[in-house]
Structure 1
Amino acid sequence: LTAVLMTLKTAEDALPSSPDHAQKALAGSRSQVDMALREIRKAILDLRPSVLDDLGLASAVRWYADKHLRPLGVKVSLEISGDEEGATGTAATAIFRIVQEAVSNIAKHSQTKNAKISLEFRQSEVLVLVEDDGRGFDPDSLKLPQDSGRGLGLLGMRERAELFGGTVEIESSPGKGTRVRVRVPFE
């Protein structure tokens, strides 16, 4: 939106002396606003994914992994054990968001052809394992988010789990894949 304001100011300044330049700047601003609105709508819809309400946590995880990994040629294995009945509401949303970030990281960074997700529903907690056999990375290099934004997703995963008294552990090393272990209690 800041870019739109700057472009509008450019158009305003150019209007008296260069109407063609102003018209191009206004068209660019319109395009930027359109893109911003699409992103805002998507963010609003993503606050509480309707797929959780429609399908439940396990099926929502399966849907998300299939949608984002299979088109990349990644074979996805999903294992589910236990009864997910108690894993609802904000805890289920947090778990889904954590898995969503882990799957997105596989798609963006791992260069793998195999991913495994397991959900173990226990009486008062959910254990999640998301792993791949891709290129891996050094987790110590991302303990604190970088100025570039690298590591923010991992930090967000940890913060979501901690809000519920849970944990996220990341095991990885270059050339050896990545394993994300999550434990989130629920009431």
Structure 2
Amino acid sequence: MQVDALDRVIKNAIDVMESSKYQIFEICESVRAERTALNNELQHVIEETTDTIDKVDKYEMEYRRARMRLTEVSRDFKRFTEEDIRAAYELATQMQTQLAMLREKEVHLKARRDDLQKRIKNVDRQLERAETVVSQVNVVLEYLSGDLNQVTRLLESAKNRQLLGLKIILAQEEERKRIAREIHDGLAQTMANVVLRTEIAERMLTKHAYSSVKEELRDLKGQVRGGIEEVRKIIFNLRPMALDDLGLIPALRKFVQDYEEKTKISTRFDLIGKDSRLPSGMEVAIYRLVQEAFSNVLKHAHASHITLEVTFQQQMVKIVVSDNGVGFAVESIDKKIERGSHYGLMGMRERVELLEGRMEIQSAKDAGTKVSLLIPIKLTSKEE
């Protein structure tokens, strides 16, 4: 999976969720406004219903009085005239009509009140659901911006580890090529020459040239010794035996000495503090870091002098490699390391990070370079 593509997917998802969040928030605000309006209307309907009920009660009493009056005037024709009877009848009829209208209004208002109460309950449920959705969207956004960013970092780390793995494979192949060249140019040529000189000695023996054979065998013995020395150097470069037998400092001393003899670059080794054995893996890692630092000086610095300083502290080992070479702009090298195009320094930095340490580079054009490696000591006993 392409990390950049995943980043775009995550960012698009976050944008969509942010947009949805604000839309849902607007819906919530709209629902809240509707709820407020319904509450206001419900309050008005309740007040009007209460007023109507009071009027109904009042008109019922008036209607009962009007009927009693109508009954009274209808029974006593001697006391009340026809006009009195007609007036009592009209009043009773009017009260009956008003009461019927008020009762109908009361029923309508009660139905309206009940409907508003139901609508408010529905709106409350919608508002609750909308607020829940907003809360869930916030959780998703936090997950997208938090956990998935962590996933991106993990994928980026996996990508870096894959690149590192490829670089390790390339480094191994380069090391194999170097060993093959050393064997071809050194040991293989020596052994071929031994075979040739042996054949010459055989021919001389058939001619009884014993003095010449003796001289030839002496030269042959020297070449064999040289071949053995070459094999020992190859083996030492693959895995310095002094590192296992004597420890880091003697192995570094031997390496610095051999480096000076081979490259003709003046070297100095300084030890500060008390030498102590480190875990085997840590000693190998430090040794390879120093090898890589010296190799970088040889390839790029054009230096005439190198200093290796190893400082043992209670919980830290500090390794400083300084040269008087051409130097460089540290910012440009940092960019190359970030782009993965400076394998030497990048490999050193990754080795140091694996040891949970820190690498610092100080350099300037025509002012030499100083590489400091700070590695914490967490294990006190030597690893088996």
TM-score relative to the length of structure 2: 0.35
**Cα deviation 1:92-115 (Å, max 9, x = unaligned):** 111111111111111122111111
The RMSD of aligned alpha carbons is 2.7
* Residue-by-residue CA offset, 1:67-100 (whole Å, 9 max, x unaligned): 2234322111110022232423111111111111
Corresponding residue for residue 307 of structure 2: 116
Residue number in structure 1 paired with 2:27: none
SS of match in other structure, 1:174: coil
State the distance in 2 between where 1:119 and 1:64 align.
14
1:156 corresponds to which residue? 347
Gaps of 5+ in 2: 1-175, 184-233, 380-384
| Deviation of 1:139 (Å) | 2.5
Q: Which of 1 and 2 has higher RCO (CA within 8 Å, sep 6+)?
A: 1
Q: Is the 8 A contact 1:86 1:124 kept in 2?
A: no
Residues 1:119 and 1:36: Cα distance change in structure 2 (over 3 Å): closer
Q: Which residue of 2 aligns with 1:68?
A: 259
Asked if 1:180 is matched to 2:371, the reply is yes
Counterpart in the other structure of 1:22? none
| Structure 1 residue corresponding to 2:320, chosen from 104, 115, 129 | 129
Three-state SS of the structure 1 residue aligned to 2:309 is: strand
Identity between Structure 1 and Structure 2 (%): 33
Residue 37 of structure 1 and its aligned partner are, at CA, apart by 10
Q: Which amino acid aligns with 1:137?
A: F
For 2:300, the aligned partner's letter is: H
* Equivalent in the alignment of 2:330: 139
CA–CA distance in structure 1, aligned partners of residues 295 and 177 of structure 2:
22
In structure 2, the partner of 1:169 is 360
The answer to whether the 8 A contact 1:69-1:75 is kept is yes
Q: Structure 1 unaligned segments of length 5 or more: list them.
A: 1-34
| In structure 1, C-alpha distance between the alignment counterparts of 2:361 and 2:178, rounded to whole Å | 35
SS at match of 1:84: coil
Distance 1:109 1:79 in 2: 23
Deviation at 1:57, TM superposition (A): 0.9
Partner SS state of residue 116, structure 1: strand
Q: Which has the higher strand share?
A: 1
**In the alignment, is residue 55 of structure 1 matched against residue 246 of structure 2?**
yes
Contact 1:87 1:126 in 2 (8 A): no
Deviations along 1:26-54, whole A, 9 cap, x unmatched? Answer: xxxxxxxxx76955x979x73x5433113
**Equivalent in the alignment of 2:75:** none
Match for 2:286: what amino acid?
I
Aligned length: 149
* 2:270 alignment partner in structure 1: 79
Shift of 1:119: 0.3
Letter in 2 for 1:161: V
Residue aligned with 1:87, SS: coil
Q: Which structure has the bigger radius of gyration?
A: 2
Matched-pair contact (CA < 8 Å) for 2:322–2:370: yes
1:105 maps to what in 2? 296
CA contact (8 A) 1:79 1:117 kept: yes
Inter-partner Cα distance in structure 2 for 1:168 and 1:102: 12
The 3-state SS of whatever aligns with 1:85 is coil
Secondary structure at the aligned position of 2:270 is classed as: strand
Contact preservation (8 Å) 1:128, 1:182? yes
Cα deviation per residue 1:119-155 (whole Å; 9 max; x = unaligned)? 01112221011000111122222223498x8511101
1:135 to 1:50, Cα distance in 2 relative to 1, 3 A = same
Instruction: Kindly indicate whether the alpha-carbon contact (under 8 Å) linking 2:256 and 2:269 is maintained by their aligned counterparts in 1.
Output: no
SS at match of 2:251: helix
SS in 1 for 2:276: helix
